[in-house]
Structure 1
Amino acid sequence: MQTRTRQQGDPGSGDRPGTRERIVRAASALMQRQGYDGTGIKQISQEAAATLGSVYHFFPGGKQELAVAAVHRGDEEFSAILREILDGHDDPAEALAALTRVLAEGLRESDWADGCPVTATALGTAGRFPDIQRAAADAFTRWQELVVAKLRASGIPETEAAELAVTVISALEGAELAAQVSRDERPLLLAGRHLGLLLAACRGGA
């Protein structure tokens, strides 16, 4: 899902940590919009205001290693957003509705260009780069675990919560893509509403 990727330089961007962070941010943002194959190392270096030598210094494995770092960044940023929203609502159904509104707002603000950076980066690499695929799979697992914890806290049994969490994340990913392609927030908002109904039904039977 979307992240709060920021493109401005970091304080102290002349040092190594600042340069590396700018490179990862640039790669994440570009791959989010263009995919893995549509993004080149030179473009990343230009976007990050870094030399090619700096890019290869931090990422000797080239674009493939950089894509893994970009996926990890997308994972961490969306995990933070998801955790914040889940923690901010007692009812998981209300949390999911709020999450879909946030995702819809992000799409609108980006003119429907910024979907999920994890999926955008990983889809074009399926079957070619197992390390990128593993990083994406780990991201989905982490997001599901956050949802599981919220569902368990609401009284849903562990096994059912685990299955529901897979459904939740899968539905949100698909709805976000549908909203982006159609340039319409309704797929996301409807997914949030119907996932909420599903969770309410499950809690009622718990």
Structure 2
Amino acid sequence: MRTTGDTRARIVTAATELFRRQGYAASGMKQIVAAADAPYGSAYHFFPGGKSQLGEEVIRTSGAAYLELIAGLFPLPVPQGADMATVTADAFTAAARTLRELDFTDPCPLATIALEVAGTHESLRLATAEVFASWTDGLAAFYRAGGIAEPAAHETASSVIALLEGAFMLGRAARSTDPVLAASRAAAAVVRAARSEAGAGDA
């Protein structure tokens, strides 16, 4: 038997998938509730603020899920003997594999939403900014634990995330994993440079 919680979760899941595949603006509430197999009125029962409120929920839910993924790919404490540049490159390789498996649709709805709403929906812009900041903080913690001090740890994390998000965009356009793999090498170089500077500073 379906519960109220199930209905809400199905709506969020359906919205997440539609935003990821076709974007925020192109996804209407009727399409979302149909994909969720939910009554139309239930969307406004759970999200009285309409699609904007639902969009914020998708952003925060997806952001939290990807933060867990970051924690898994960049574990704390840093495993003994782990090379941070190699760990970073391996994360990009995994991302390239995911992009291909999803037939070059965006693996995450956040970048799609961020590009659409940055200048038009302040609440959604703020939500995406908060999520990206949480990702940067999480990744920076890994680099700090590996010996890169602040502010370099945050700068490195921000650069790595920017490289990944940009590579996803280029990879989708080209229907190729080559941009992600190229970004992998660039990200590893950024990490090596930051670690080298940290080592020089310790000397």
TM-score normalised by the chain length of structure 1: 0.89
Amino acid paired to 1:47? A
Give the Å deviation of 1:115.
3.6
SS at match of 1:205: helix
3-state secondary structure, aligned to 1:112:
coil
Tell me what 1:67 maps to. 55
The one of 37, 40, 53 aligned to 1:52: 40
**Structure 1 residue 125, shift from structure 2 partner:** 1.6
Q: How does 1:10-49 map to 2 (within 5 A)?
A: 14-49=2-37
The more displaced of 129-138 and 109-118 is: 109-118
Q: TM-score, normalised by structure 2?
A: 0.91
CA deviation map 1:167-204 (0-9, x unaligned)? 11111110111111111111111111221122112212
Deviation at 1:114, TM superposition (A): 2.8
Are 1:148 and 2:136 an aligned pair?
Answer: no
The reply on whether 1:96 has 2:88 as its aligned counterpart is: yes
The alignment of Structure 1 onto Structure 2 pairs a total of residues equal to 194
What's the counterpart of residue 162 of structure 2?
A: 170
Structure 1 residue runs of 4+, over 3 Å off?
none
- The 8 Å contact of residues 106 and 114 in structure 1, kept in 2 or not, is answered as no
Distance in 1 between the 2:30 and 2:22 partners? Answer: 14
Q: Alignment identity in percent?
A: 37
1:81 aligns with 2:81: no
CA contact (8 A) 2:11 2:33 kept: yes
**Larger of the two Rg values belongs to structure:** 2
**What residue is the counterpart of 2:114 in the other structure?**
122
- Structure 1: any 5+ residue segments left out of the alignment? 1-11
- AA at the equivalent of 2:169: L
Say what the alpha-carbon RMSD is for the aligned residues. Answer: 1.4
